[in-house]
Amino acid sequence: MQQEELEEKVTIMEELIQGFEERMNVIETGMAEFLKTFLEQYRDMLNTIAARIETANKRYDHDKIQQNIDDVTKLVSTMPKVIGVKTSHHFGKWSKSLIIGLLVCFVITATSVGTALYLNQRDDKLNNEAYNFWLVRALYPKTAEAIITKLKEDPDGFTAKAEKEMAKQNAIIAAKAQADQADKEQKVAKDNLEKLKSGK
């Protein structure tokens, strides 16, 4: 079975090679004839083109062109490959003064802006405190009158006492906040413990 297939394939290959050889022969003979007819048809035109090229070549002076090329080559060879350039810059008196002045203006502007922001914040705080005292004066006139009287009698002692009370109140507020935070943490820990015990 395989022997028959091989013989059939060999036969097919031989037929293909014979057909290819015939086609190559046709192409070789056809190409020669085509070139022959092409040259016969365009011989006059090719001769005209060759004559024009010859005339154009005679118009230009080849010696002069070669001399120009040589001159340009010499000029290029005399030019330096790298041209070194030294640059230097220095500040004059006017430039130094200007730069120093600008730096001083910048520092003064930055300081002024910082001071203005600080004073604005401080002013807001004082306005809030004044508003609070106005509310006390409006709602509790006797208390406000007592405060004003004590401030007139002993301003330093009363202010010190007030500062001590404010520090005490701030400490109480901080301790309460800390206790609330501890309660929250204890509650979270208790919830976590319950979850772990229940197995969720």
Q: What percentage of the chain carries pLDDT values higher than 90? A: 18
pLDDT of residue 75: 78
CA distance 84 to 99: 31
Give the model's confidence band at 112: pLDDT under 50 very low, under 70 low, under 90 confident, else very high: very high
Question: Could you give the CA distance from residue 152 to residue 143 in angstroms, rounded to a whole number?
Answer: 14
- This prediction has a pTM of 0.34
Q: Where are the domains of the chain?
A: 2-76, 93-151, 154-200
Residue 158's Cβ-count burial label (10 Å; 0-12, 13-18, 19+) is middle
* Residue 85 binned pLDDT confidence (cut-offs 50, 70, 90): low
Positive or negative, the CA dihedral 189, 191, 197, 199 is negative
Asked if 144 contacts 137 with a C-beta cutoff of 8 angstroms, the reply is yes
